């Protein structure tokens, strides 16, 4: 099936499994990019090696991640590949800059994934000033999106992604898609230098709705992408979706002209996400 003419969003696969990249290409005929993170990298390694009991030195683990990122980049030379720095609550901006600068040199089509923390935003400001691409992840609020916008002013469109998480918010009984649509609405009042990458998408309906509400990019597990493909790659009107079982998240009027340090970027799910990614990575280190 050819790419639908009405499809404006880019479609990324969320994972570090090369076989999934190939499956998506076979099913859709295109893959626009791929998002990796410590958790899906660990999952892919364990699947390929057929065991849960694997460990590396820190240097070996980083080298293995580099090799995987290079393989994905070769498979998607015209797409973006998100590469995530190691970060926990104590990781400084300087450390993220050191890691990210090295990772950016691995491949020609990298976006460096940084958490939306004070340290992550400081690192993003540095990278953008030096012409490097970033993907600001673990986004759960409009305020966080405002801070990303402010910290990356002056960047070219396509150099900055923001990744609001949908599924994890739904798990809390809230409508995660509202975060995406609220950010879309907020950014429309300013320039379009930040591209919205809807993440934590679990099924075909979430994928189709993320497209419908105006996401520039979606990243989904392969299963959701294959289901969406089987449905004919629908691009529906957002008014066709309802979520009576999820509490709505109200839109907020936020001034995007402020310094990024003035916004309240704290959120427990961002903190929890940092812990999860760090634990997955550290579990592989001997």
Cβ neighbours, 10 Å, residue 279: 13
Task: Count CA atoms within 13 Å of residue 126 on its CB side.
Answer: 18
What gap in Å lies between CA 92 and CA 241, rounded to an integer? 41
Contacts of 139 (CB under 8 A, 6+ apart): 116, 145, 148, 162, 163, 164, 165, 179, 183, 270
Distance CA 86, CA 167 (A): 22
Nearest Cα to 236, choosing from 266, 256, 213? 213
Range list of H helices, the chain: 18-28, 38-49, 58-75, 93-104, 118-129, 142-151, 167-170, 176-187, 204-212, 222-230, 268-282
Rounded to 10 degrees, the C-alpha dihedral 244/187/117/243 comes to 10
Tokens 């320039």 identify what position? 191
What is d(CA 166, CA 118) in angstroms, rounded to the nearest whole number?
A: 22
Catalytic residue among 43, 46, 66, 113: 113
Tokens found for residue 28:
């859709």
Nearest alpha carbon to residue 156 among 209, 109, 194: 194
Q: Which helix (H) or strand (E) holds 135?
A: strand 134-139
* Catalytic residue flag (residue 156): no
Label residue 252 exposed, middle or buried (CB < 10 Å: 0-12, 13-18, 19+).
exposed
Q: Catalytic amino acids?
A: 113
């Amino acid at each position: 099936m050819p790419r639908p003419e009405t499809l404006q969003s880019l479609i990324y696969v969320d994972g570090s499994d090369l076989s999934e990249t190939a499956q998506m290409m076979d099913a859709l005929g295109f893959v626009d990019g791929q998002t990796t993170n410590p958790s899906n990298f660990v999952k892919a390694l364990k699947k390929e090696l057929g065991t849960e009991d694997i460990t590396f030195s820190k240097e070996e683990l980083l080298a293995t991640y580099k090799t995987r990122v290079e393989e994905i980049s070769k498979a998607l030379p015209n797409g973006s590949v998100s590469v995530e720095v190691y970060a926990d609550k104590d990781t400084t901006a300087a450390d993220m800059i050191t890691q990210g600068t090295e990772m950016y040199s691995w491949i020609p089509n990298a976006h460096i994934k940084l958490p939306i923390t004070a340290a992550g935003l400081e690192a993003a400001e540095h990278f953008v000033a030096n012409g490097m691409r970033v993907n600001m992840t673990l986004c759960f609020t409009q305020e966080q999106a405002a801070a990303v916008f402010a910290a990356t002013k002056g960047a070219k469109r396509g150099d900055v992604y923001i990744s609001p998480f949908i599924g994890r918010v739904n798990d809390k009984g809230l409508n995660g898609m509202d975060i995406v649509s609220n950010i879309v609405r907020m950014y429309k009042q300013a320039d379009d230098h930040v591209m919205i990458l809807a993440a934590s998408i679990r099924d075909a309906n979430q994928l189709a709705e993320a497209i419908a509400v105006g996401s520039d990019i979606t990243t989904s597990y392969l299963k959701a992408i294959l289901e969406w493909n089987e449905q004919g790659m629908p691009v529906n009107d957002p008014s066709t979706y309802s979520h009576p079982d999820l509490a709505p998240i109200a839109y907020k009027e936020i001034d995007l002209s402020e310094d990024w340090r003035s916004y309240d970027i704290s959120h427990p799910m961002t903190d929890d996400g940092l812990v999860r990614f760090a634990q997955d990575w550290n579990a592989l280190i001997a």
